[in-house]
Structure 1
């Protein structure tokens, strides 16, 4: 267990989560996910549009896909290339009170549509948390895997992504040795996806996410009070990774976010 646990820090983190999810660009504002094909993809409110908007003009323009590149051509205007989320924040196209942007998933491209005025009709219901508990902050060994492990990680749509794992977090819970494998590592953070015995009951059924600061001197701090629901808990238009079997914890983790009970 880490001695660096601070309730005030947790309160700020929870406030930031609330602000993120109640904002105009929240996951709760998504109203569609449309997979694109090579060539022209019509965008509009017409029934035959590939990217079908819930309101607005019947035909607003077209998305032209050329391999991994996407060009937006609004009706009557010149085409412009759109940045996807491949390497950061994607470029958004605004159409009245709607916006769409392009995401790339395992070589496939899709347009996500967002209702920017969602909160004016349906206020964010807020999040419920397990009681704050410093006992769920662990200082784990950050063990190197040699050779690295390659996992096939599924997402909620059934697609698989190959993930190379170079380390594992090893810690002890009630005398039981536990391991967690990261989904990704960077010089800024380490990202985990896990399930536990609260999943599907008190917490979101498909598991929860957890981020940690990079390891120092072979140790990494896992603060389960900051375990949080994936985007799929708030919208059907996300493509969240599922926890690998190695990250199914055989006990309850009564810390972090509980199941979201609001409507989406």
Structure 2
């Protein structure tokens, strides 16, 4: 188990220190239907920190998104709604479009960010087998419809059909998943370490799908959400149902560069 956890932490470090890290984001720009100019000029709603005054334009029409570059080339872009989005690159800058409930926004990334401020790593609690918890995976009948807020103050409806039920030191608690897929179950939670030893807005946790009505929650793999590293993320916040009434001294601690 210790080797597996160390491998997981090394993969996290590689992800956060690489050119596509959340730490490399330098802008988030919400688009309007129609033409949106991209460049370093004052008239560009998608404002680049460097480069030409006009790099091109993003044309959002009837749910389609076209990139028209200054050189006359044109291509349709895919957002992150169905997976990995299309990217547009210019020197060290790269941008892509995210879809948030049919609202489009450009995320701008500086892929050379680490040359100026290398990632020094994350502090973590020591591994503790006591925080590998097998919970009951119980259906909710009827399913619960929650409005989950994000860091931008928006609400997203989430349908919850199951809950993970377990006990810690005699306290019976439950966690509601934000999503349940074929490969993983995703949770967002807070606990008594939030805002102190861990990130104030809570942490994320992924688990393998339940088997025979049981699901394993390994809190040693609780990790910081993207919004712990950048103001240009739109992370979901833990619903009140997922505010645990005790400390969970496991997983990633608050990032030292936390803003």
Which TM-score applies when normalising by structure 2?
A: 0.99
Aligned counterpart, 1:235: 230
Q: SS at 1:141's partner residue?
A: strand
Counterparts of 2:235 and 2:137, CA distance in 1: 25
Is 1:49 paired with 2:44? Answer: yes
| Segments of 4+ moved more than 2 angstroms | none
Counterparts of 1:18 and 1:69, CA distance in 2: 36
Aligned counterpart, 1:167: 162
Q: Tell me, which stretches of 5 or more residues in structure 1 are unaligned? A: 1-5
Q: SS at 1:17's partner residue?
A: helix
Is the contact between residue 125 and residue 262 of structure 1 (CA under 8 Å) also seen in structure 2?
Answer: no
Q: SS at 1:162's partner residue?
A: strand
Q: Which residue of the other structure, out of 102, 124, 142, is the alignment partner of 2:137?
A: 142
> How far off its partner does 1:95 sit?
0.9
* Mean CA deviation greater in 67-76 or 206-215: 67-76
Q: Which residue of the other structure, out of 76, 94, 97, is the alignment partner of 2:71?
A: 76
Is the contact between residue 123 and residue 255 of structure 2 (CA under 8 Å) also seen in structure 1?
Answer: yes
> How far off its partner does 1:67 sit?
3.1
Aligned counterpart, 1:86: 81
Equivalent runs, 1:19-168 vs 2, <5 Å: 19-168=14-163
Q: Which residue of the other structure, out of 220, 224, 238, is the alignment partner of 2:219?
A: 224
Aligned counterpart, 2:178: 183
Is the contact between residue 228 and residue 258 of structure 2 (CA under 8 Å) also seen in structure 1?
Answer: no
Counterparts of 1:108 and 1:175, CA distance in 2: 44
Aligned counterpart, 1:3: none
Counterparts of 1:169 and 1:76, CA distance in 2: 54
Deviations 1:193-218 (A, max 9, x none): 00000000000000000000000000
Counterparts of 2:64 and 2:226, CA distance in 1: 25
Q: SS at 2:81's partner residue?
A: coil
Is 1:15 paired with 2:23? Answer: no
Q: SS at 2:244's partner residue?
A: coil
Deviations 1:175-201 (A, max 9, x none): 110100000000100000000000000
Counterparts of 1:82 and 1:25, CA distance in 2: 19
> How far off its partner does 1:76 sit?
2.5
Counterparts of 1:140 and 1:76, CA distance in 2: 57
Aligned counterpart, 1:254: 249
Is the contact between residue 68 and residue 109 of structure 1 (CA under 8 Å) also seen in structure 2?
Answer: no
Which TM-score applies when normalising by structure 1?
A: 0.97
Q: SS at 1:182's partner residue?
A: coil
Counterparts of 1:263 and 1:211, CA distance in 2: 22
Deviations 1:31-80 (A, max 9, x none): 00000001100000112211101111110000000132211000032321
